[in-house]
């Protein structure tokens, strides 16, 4: 179960990057100010920095502010991650911009409700 959760989480992170890089760096790339490798490194750095600095607060809000943690089990977490990942992946394939925050919160509340 843990390995499956990790695989789905990595795929979610890849889709999160795919949907987040374009709006974040399109003007810098279009102006030829930054190249692809620089953009990927900067995006990765700031996503990790945000997760380290603010991830605990987000996890606390999601686990207590929206849905109490007593309702979340590893199987429920897998369903939440899978539904968020699949919807984000389909949106990326269709080139429809989508907020990863909204996808996650709606997957969380939809699964528990």
In the DSSP assignment, the letter for residue 69 is G
Distance CA 6, CA 95 (A): 25
**Residue 104, pLDDT above cutoff 80:** no
pLDDT value at residue 33: 92
Q: State the pLDDT at residue 31.
A: 92
Question: Quick check: 37 and 79 in contact, CB under 8 A?
Answer: no
Q: Provide the whole-model pTM.
A: 0.69
Helix axes 2-30, 100-112, angle to 10 degrees: 150
Give the position of tokens 């991650």.
81
1 and 75 in contact (C-beta within 8 Å)? yes
């Amino acid at each position: 179960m843990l390995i499956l959760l990790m695989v789905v989480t990595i795929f979610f992170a890849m889709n999160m990057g795919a949907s987040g890089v374009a709006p974040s760096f399109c003007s810098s790339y279009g102006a030829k100010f930054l190249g692809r490798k620089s953009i990927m490194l900067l995006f990765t750095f700031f996503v990790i920095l945000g997760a380290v600095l603010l991830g605990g607060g987000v996890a606390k809000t999601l686990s207590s502010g929206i849905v109490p943690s007593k309702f979340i089990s590893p199987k429920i977490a897998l369903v939440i991650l899978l539904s968020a990942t699949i919807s984000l992946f389909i949106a990326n394939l269709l080139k429809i911009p989508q907020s990863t925050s909204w996808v996650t919160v709606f997957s969380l509340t939809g699964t528990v409700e």
